Each structure stands twice: as structure tokens, then as C-alpha cells.
Structure 1
Amino acid sequence: MTPFPFSKSPVNDLPQASPYFVSNFGYWSEVSNYKDAGVQFLTEFVRHCHLTKEASILEVGSGLGGGLVYWKQHFAPKLLSAINLPGEQSNFAKHLWNENDVKVKPFLEGGWEQIKTLPSNFYDYVFAVDCAYHFDPLVDFYKEAYRVLKPEGKLVFNMFHYEKDTKHTFPFILKLFYMPPNQISTVDKTKLQLQQMGFLIEHELDWTTPVIKGFIQYSQYLKLSLRIFGSILDKLTNSFQLSYHYYVVKKVSKL
């Protein structure tokens, strides 16, 4: 649920610094502008999964491409692969990678389902930055991430959750944010689902305050369209009692 899931608008509408162009919500801890918050999100995202140098990384939902540039420059991975929907963001990302000598192989333009074409037991990390809550069916994404990961490999992603396991009025409103209502569940259900697949939960952190509330507060200083988006996001998370979480799960043997 980013303001611009299918366009390169964040490049111009949010204060960004080349080459780390991103479209996440930002991580708002001791920072006051999106240029810093967007990059801090990338830092926090890999800090808890202990990203190592010379690793193989698959990013599903690579967006504007800045995340892969950042990880390439700071961690020197031996392989970068990515999947992203075709369109403005992917076109921008390809130019960005070329300009910064970042090799992404393969780069698959399509939905997350393209992961099914990739080999099993191949990647050290699968990243899904601010996008897994768009995937449907989500359980199939988890299964495919498990399949392509090496033993002890890690899936790292963000997810919105209902605070309580109750039915909500007008769930179709979530679709306006490209969130399939039937894919949103509670933390406990998600953790159980992942564990039953063979994942070990290393980290599950509530990032609602530093990410979502931080972005909502900052959006009030942006252009009108983003102020409106921030206001709607605030009402949506409150009405549906949504929280926003960060996960690091490791592939172990299935039960």
C-alpha cells in the first residue's frame, strides 16, 4: 500500500536522493524528511535479517529499483534477481540499475507469480518490501518463497494485520488500496501459517508507529494528493484496526 504502486511518481513527488529511489512508507525514527526515512526503511529492513555480504537476493516487488542499488553498494551480493510489474516503475528501475552498474539477473516483469519460474533451493534471501499484502493468494507466495530459498535462507517482508479476528463492514474498501481483504489476517494466524510451512519465525516486529504513523504525520507537509492519501490511510487503519508488521522467517525442515 504505497501511494504510487504502479508509477514513478515518487521520484518527483517525494524528496528523494539519487540513486536510492524508493516507494516505501519510510521508517520515521529520528528523521524528518522522506529522503532519509525511505533509506532508513531499507537499513532497518536488512538489519534484523543480518544480511551478509556475497549473498544471493531475490526482491519480489522491486519498484523503482533503489533498494537493490542500496544493497549492492553496501553488501556486495553475489547475485541480485528481481520481479516487478511491467510499467513506469520497472522502466525507471532498469535505467537506474544501468546507470549504477547494478546487474539484476534475471529481472522478470510480471506479477509475483513469476517466482514459479525460478529454481528451487537457490536464494539466500527473498525480500518483499512493502508489497506482500498485495499478493493473492498470499499462501502461495509463502510456499514459493520457501521453495526458492536455500536451507536456512530467509524470507523478509512487511504485512498489514487485523488486530482482532473479526468480520469488518465494507471490506471491499481495502481493494481501493490494492489489498485483497481475504488475505489480511491476524499476527497469530500468519505466524502459525508460516510455521506449518516449515518457516522458523526469527523476528515479528510491530512497525505501525515508526512506519505508518510516521508517514501519516509527514504526509501533512506534502502536496494535496498525498495529504489526502495520508488522511485516508489514517482512517483506514483506524476503522479496520490494522497494524503493520515486519517479519524475518527462516527456512527449516517442514513439519
Structure 2
Amino acid sequence: MAEFHDLAELALNRDNQSWGNLGYWKKDTEYSGACRALALLLGEDARLDEQSVVFDAGFGCGDQLSLWLTHFRVVQVRGVNLSRSQTAHARDRLAEAGFPAAAAAIVQGDINDGQAWHATLGTDRPSHVLALDCAYHFPSRLEFIALSHQHLAPAGRIALTDFMLADQHRTGSITHQLLRWMLRRSHIAEANIVHRTRYLNQLRAAGFEEARIIDISQHVMPGFAHFVRTFQGKARAGWKARLKYAVTGRFLQCAYRRSILRYCLISATKKD
């Protein structure tokens, strides 16, 4: 059975790169660099350092796992990812880079399944839970936040990049019907896309404090839309992937210009 989350993004990358996020296009003009920039932004906002133990929710094809280990020099990474093909690719990437199982342990599974967390963490408690450009795809972001709080060490941090409704967007509007249609096509639960105030309240209700949301839409949504519109390597991607990226790019451009969605950097600390 074909997976919605597969290896299609490999065609967008430079050789030996396998990033799969929307990218941070403030300075970069090509896909792999923009994706790495978004991961760096998340790691910096999470305050990763040489004492950090990271649980990566939805690690994709694994390039970010190597980034946590090499750039931020974290102690360990653990992770769960839904895609079988991506998880296998990530394992191969980690092995090729020479990382032992003690430094990087990842499993394939549903991030909303507590057993998947236990399979990779055991009784350990990470200092950080990260979700790079994927939480909106989880079956329930609320459940993910609750599991993050449950498994984090005291004073641990959650950090993610995620979509939310623009403050001025009204759920009863015609544009909201367009949004609902696009969410269904993109395998995104409508309950995951909420306004900023509700997002903050969900974090606080789950037991997090010092919650912060930074809008980085201007450096993400138009940049990705421009990239897919002008990408010169379209022949490397299959027609389904080309259609997926074209539709996504056009929608993101529309959602940004018409203030439907915002793309944000979110972080919070677990209460003691």
C-alpha cells in the first residue's frame, strides 16, 4: 500500500540530502539549504546543547537527526516516525554517518501511540521534544502535546514549527471552506489547525509554561511557493509528486496573502 509520506522529497534535494520540510527562505534560495535553516532555527529556539537528550517526533528521512547530533552535539536522539520508507531511509543515513545505536534510536510508529514512545525511550526522559514541520499531520496534536508533557524530564522543553489560523481568519467564512478542502487533501485533521490563543491555551492546559509563538510565515510560505513554481528539477519527481507540490505551493501562497494560515515557531517549558 502506498504511503502518503514517502521518499518523494528526495527529488527536491541536492545530492546526498534528504530533507522534507517547507524550509526557511530568509537567506537560502535552494531547497536543502532552506530546510536545514528551518531545522537550525528550531534547534536554537529549543536551546539544544551538549547536555540535551532529544526525542524527535516525525523525523522524516533523518537529516535533522544528524543535525542535532553534529551541529548541536546533543547527547542522544530518539524518535518516532509514521512512514516505513522514511524510517528505513533514516536508519541507513545514520548508519552511513557512523552513529551507533546508543546515540540514535528510532522506530516506525504512530506518534499518538504511547507504546511507540515507550519503544524508543523506555524509562528515559528526554530534555527536549521536537516536531519539525510535522505536528499538523499528527492524528491529534493535542494528544501529542499531552504525551510530550508525560515523557519530558522536569523543566524539559517542547519546540515545534506548525501551522495555525491567522488571527483575522473566521471559521465561518468562504475561505474556511477552501481551507477545509485543502486539509482533507493533505491528510491534516481540522482540529489541529486553531487560532494562536487556542494554541497557547492548549499548551498551558497540558502543563506547559513560558509558551512562546513566533510568526515566521513571511520566510516560509511564499518562499516554498516560489521554489516549487520555479524548480528546475521537476523531471526527477513523479507526476503525483509534481502535482502535490504545485497544489501545495499555490495554496500556501493564497493562504499567506489572504491571511488564512500562519506558520510559526512554538516553544514551551514543562512545569516543575
TM-score, normalized by the shorter chain, greater than 0.5: yes
1:176 to 179, 185, 203: 185
Give the C-alpha shift of residue 17 in structure 1.
4.8
Q: Is the CA contact (8 Å cut-off) linking 2:81 and 2:110 kept in structure 1?
A: yes
What residue number does 1:6 align with? 5
Q: Aligned to 2:145, which of 142, 147, 152?
A: 142
Write the letter of the residue equivalent to 2:7. K
- Give 5+ residue unaligned stretches, structure 2: 235-241
**SS at the partner of 1:246?**
strand
Instruction: Tell me, in whole angstroms, the C-alpha distance in 2 between the residues paired with 1:201 and 1:16.
Output: 38
Deviations 1:38-71 (A, max 9, x none): 1111111111221111311000101010000111
Q: Which residue does 2:159 correspond to in 1?
A: 156
Task: Determine helix, strand or coil for the equivalent of 2:50.
Answer: coil
Q: CA deviation at 1:121?
A: 6.8
Percent identity for Structure 1 against Structure 2: 21
Measured on the aligned residues, the alpha-carbon RMSD in Å equals 2.2
Residue in 1 aligned with 2:251? 232
Matched, 1:15 2:13: yes
Distance (whole Å) between structure 2 residues aligned to residue 66 and residue 17 of structure 1:
13
Off by >4 Å, runs of 4+ in structure 1:
236-240
Question: Scaled by the length of structure 2, what TM-score is found?
Answer: 0.83
In structure 2, C-alpha distance between the alignment counterparts of 1:70 and 1:61, rounded to whole Å? 15
Q: Secondary structure at the match of 2:146?
A: helix
CA contact (8 A) 1:24 1:130 kept: yes
User: Which residue number in structure 1 is paired with residue 126 of structure 2?
Assistant: 123
Query: Is the counterpart of residue 109 in structure 1 residue 108 in structure 2?
Result: yes
Give the Cα–Cα distance (whole angstroms) in 2 for the partners of residues 144 and 122 of structure 1: 12
Q: Please, what TM-score do these two structures have when normalized by structure 1?
A: 0.88
Aligned equivalents of 1:71 and 1:97: distance in 2? 12
8 Å contact 2:57–2:130 — kept in the other structure? yes
Partner secondary structure for residue 151 of structure 1: coil
- Relative to 1, partners in 2 of residues 1:183 and 1:15: Cα closer, same or farther, differing over 3 Å? closer
Asked whether the equivalents of residues 198 and 251 of structure 1 are also in contact (C-alpha less than 8 Å), the reply is yes
Corresponding pairs, count: 248
CA distance in 2, matches of 1:188, 1:238: 21
Aligned partners of 2:136 and 2:162 also within 8 Å = yes
What are the superposed Cα offsets for residues 190-226 of structure 1, whole Å, 9 maximum, x if unpaired?
A: 1011112221134311011111121112221122543
Structure 2 counterpart of 1:212, one-letter code: M
